[in-house]
Chains A and B, each alone.
Chain A
Amino acid sequence: MINKSNKVLNTNITKLVSKDYQYGFSTNIEKDIIEKGLNEQTVRLISEKKKEPKFLLTFRLKAYKKWKQMSEPEWPYLKFPQINYQDISYYSAPKSPKKLKNLDEVDPELLKTFEKLGISLTEQKRLANVAIDAVFDSVSIGTTFQDELSKCGIIFTSISEAVHDYSELIEKYLGSVVPIGDNYFSALNSAVFTDGSFCYIPPNTTCPLDLSTYFRINDQNAGQFERTLIIAEKNSQVNYLEGCTAPQYDTNQLHAAIVELIALENATIKYSTVQNWYAGDEFGSGGIYNFVTKRGLCVGANSTISWTQVETGSAITWKYPSCVLVGNNSQGEFYSVALTNNYQQADTGTKMIHIGKNSRSRIISKGISAGKSKNSYRGFVNVTNKAIGAKNYSQCDSLLIGNLSNANTFPYISVQNATTKIEHEASTSKIGEEQIFYFLQRGICLEKAVELMISGFCREIFTKLPLEFAAEADKLLTLKLEGSIG
């Protein structure tokens, strides 16, 4: 249960003016939303609404059956009230009179929403070097730069469209990295996913633009269940960015996504996330429940998959972006900053499964806990007997702010051959009143002091982010911590 007691002030150092979550507005728009509840009929209805091919309906129904037999995982270090899956609407889409031919036909209200989020979809103002797929509740409302990308043979579109236009690729790869029954939330997502992004990089191609999906949950009662599938063919490269925000409601919204990455021989996929879902208020009411399965498959030799995440939002975060290193000399990376404040809870980390010879993995995790939050790193490094010469390096650092926050590290390591080299380092430190006072005494204001300490702590991760994201992430963390010190 969430204790609504007043926020305890640790010190009486000048407080910064606590800013509200700046993306907390909601958009009033006519929408097509189905009744709450989940049963076989709901699954059929979603599939019907999207006019899906037979194979996908079969996929969904199989997932639904599986989900009914499963139960929520109990091992995470998270506490939250029972989720009522029958009290959620599984499809909510802005109403549009006809199929849109181009982005200029998108409801201006929606375009305005994304403008407010700093994401411009219109021709004139959009970012010059990033192609964006904008997902609003259950559907993708538009993808920029599609024509330009298709000239290189790159497919970047919503998964709903891909189901129709590239059904062979979808049928072949969907669920190949995260099987339907992988976990409770993946089964749920597989049954009811509504949209997401699909990206295909043909052989010998370096994607000229960064690709990005921006997820926006708008409806108070709808869950968001999106799916992303990225396939990088031989000798190809792509940078992918993901951003997320949601309005500020006092109830909790469910977000259960799946991301599947496939890297063939010599291919490199870099996947970066800045997650800023609404985190609930300072008393722990409201916020997104974020249960996400992200996994990359390094199928080909010398392939690389790199996850970088900056997790700052959500009331609950349950997320383990992983790499299955099948190809010889393949490489998996996980760089993470997870920040929790107030009553937020995060149980996040990664899995690195070594199968290929000389496969290498690198894990750098930075957890920052403030307020009364709980922040846990959970990682699994598994080196199978075939993975001759595999190497892993893991580093988990925790930073505590105040006296009431909580940081945990749960590293699991399983090694089945003697040629493996594994290193693990961990540290815990604290931003205390005396450190703050030291800065203040030297004339440096509180805001700058915290910014400097946090960015120092996260530097290794921020350098992995694309440039536009790195500056954003730095600002975001400082903003999130306002009022938590003092």
Chain B
Amino acid sequence: MTINSPLLEVKDLRVSINETEILKNLNLKINKGEIHAIMGPNGSGKSTFSKVLAGHPAYSVFQGDIFFKGSSILDLEPEQRSHLGIFLAFQYPIEIPGVSNEDFLRLAYNSKQKFYNKPEVDPIEFLSIINEKLNLVNMSPIFLSRNVNEGFSGGEKKRNEILQMILLDSELAILDETDSGLDIDALKTISMGINNFMSPSKSILLITHYQRLLDYVKPTYVHVMQDGKIIKTGSAKLAKELEDKGYQWLK
């Protein structure tokens, strides 16, 4: 164990939406430099978990706690959590008509700069910053002038998420099924982006159904989530096993 406290620590977390309990006593600890993968059947609560970490207002946490960098974030608003270093790549990135990707990305970047008392960048400075990042995910600058996710293909939306992850350079990146619906080339591009982003001071939480992403992004741990809690934890090998056997044998 490192001397430092874990980057993320989830303790006995119970969460409900519309009075239905989704997460039932969830525990998880992620240290810096680790990549954790969460797998599990549909409806097991994986996506809920990612949104709860990011502070989605629809869910209520009625027991347990979430510690990020050693302090509880339960009372923090989504934008505060974002500033502290939590990034969520959405499973279904939403379209935002009328708002250009460039404005959106710059505003996000500047919000973080402002939070850390760093100077905000003007549109011209920003262009050189973002152009460099675009290359990392193999995106054309044309994307900047298009509206956020509007008319993007599934793969383009996912790449746009990874672009934002790299741009904001958050310490904890939660990727909610970023690999689903991607062809093999797009999967490689995205994996490259993820590996580029990863460093010993950061952590990644991957939520996925498929083991194929894990061929490119090597997880430190693989967890199996079922019925709102983690029922098994293992190494990367566990993912292979799940691929062969499914989830039934774990019950």
Q: A residues bordering B, Cβ < 8 Å?
A: 11-14, 429, 432-435, 437-446, 448, 452-453, 455-457, 459
Contacts and interface: CB of A to CB of B under 8 A. Distances in A.
8 contacts: A11-B58, A435-B94, A441-B90, A442-B104, A443-B115, A444-B104, A452-B103, A456-B98
Interface stretch (B5-13, B39-47, B76-84): B76-84
Sort A-B residue pairs by CB-CB distance and give the 6 closest, nearest first. Answer: A456-B98, A440-B78, A443-B82, A442-B108, A443-B111, A456-B99
A13 B59 CA distance: 11
B112 to A, nearest CB: 5
B151 interface: no
B184 interface: no
A441 B83 contact: no
Contacts of A440: 55, 77-79, 82
A434 B78 contact: no
Given A432-B94, A441-B78, A453-B98, 13 more contacts: A14-B77, A438-B94, A439-B96, A440-B55, A440-B77, A440-B82, A441-B87, A442-B108, A442-B111, A452-B99, A456-B99, A456-B147, A457-B98
Interface of B: 54-58, 77-79, 82-83, 87-88, 90, 93-94, 96-100, 103-104, 107-108, 111-112, 115, 147, 164, 168
B107 A452 contact: yes
Nearest to A456: B98
Given A11-B58, A433-B58, A437-B57, A442 B82 contact: yes
Contacts of B77: 14, 440
Contacts of B54: 437, 441
Contact of A445 (B57, B58, B79, B104): B79
Contacts, number: 78
A455 B104 CA distance: 13
Contacts of A433: 57-58
B129 to A, nearest CB: 15
B162 to A, nearest CB: 13
Nearest to B92: A434
A380 to B, nearest CB: 27
A448 B114 CA distance: 14
Contacts of A12: 57
A452 B104 contact: yes
Given A443-B168, A448-B107, A437 B78 contact: yes
Contacts of B168: 442-443
Nearest to A430: B97
* Residue with the greatest number of chain A CB neighbours at <10 A, chosen from B78, B94, B96, B99: B78
Contacts of A452: 99, 103-104, 107
Contacts of B88: 441
A457 B98 CA distance: 5
Contacts of A432: 94
Contacts of B90: 438, 441
B88 to A, nearest CB: 5
A459 B98 CA distance: 8
B164 A442 contact: yes
A443 B94 contact: no
Contacts of B93: 438
Chain B CB within 10 A, most for which of A11, A438, A446, A459? A438
Contact of A444 (B56, B108, B147): B108
B118 to A, nearest CB: 13
Q: Which of B87, B97, B164 has the most CB of A within 10 A?
A: B97
Nearest to A446: B79
A58 B145 CA distance: 60
Nearest to A459: B98
Nearest to A454: B98
A445 B111 contact: yes
Q: Which of B83, B103, B107 has the most CB of A within 10 A?
A: B107
A137 B66 CA distance: 59
A211 to B, nearest CB: 32
Contacts of B108: 442-444
Contacts of A439: 96, 104
A432 to B, nearest CB: 8
A445 B108 CA distance: 9
A299 B164 CA distance: 55
Contacts of A443: 79, 82-83, 108, 111-112, 115, 168
B166 to A, nearest CB: 13
B96 A438 contact: yes
A444 B167 CA distance: 14
Contacts of A453: 96-99
A390 B101 CA distance: 38
Contacts of B103: 452
Question: Which of B55, B99, B103 gathers the greatest number of chain A CB atoms within 10 Å?
Answer: B99
Contacts of A445: 79, 111
B67 to A, nearest CB: 19
Contacts of A438: 90, 93-94, 96
Contacts of B94: 432, 434-435, 438
Contacts of A459: 98
Contacts of A456: 96-100, 147
A33 to B, nearest CB: 47
A161 B98 CA distance: 46
A446 B80 CA distance: 12
B215 to A, nearest CB: 28
Nearest to A432: B94
A85 B5 CA distance: 74
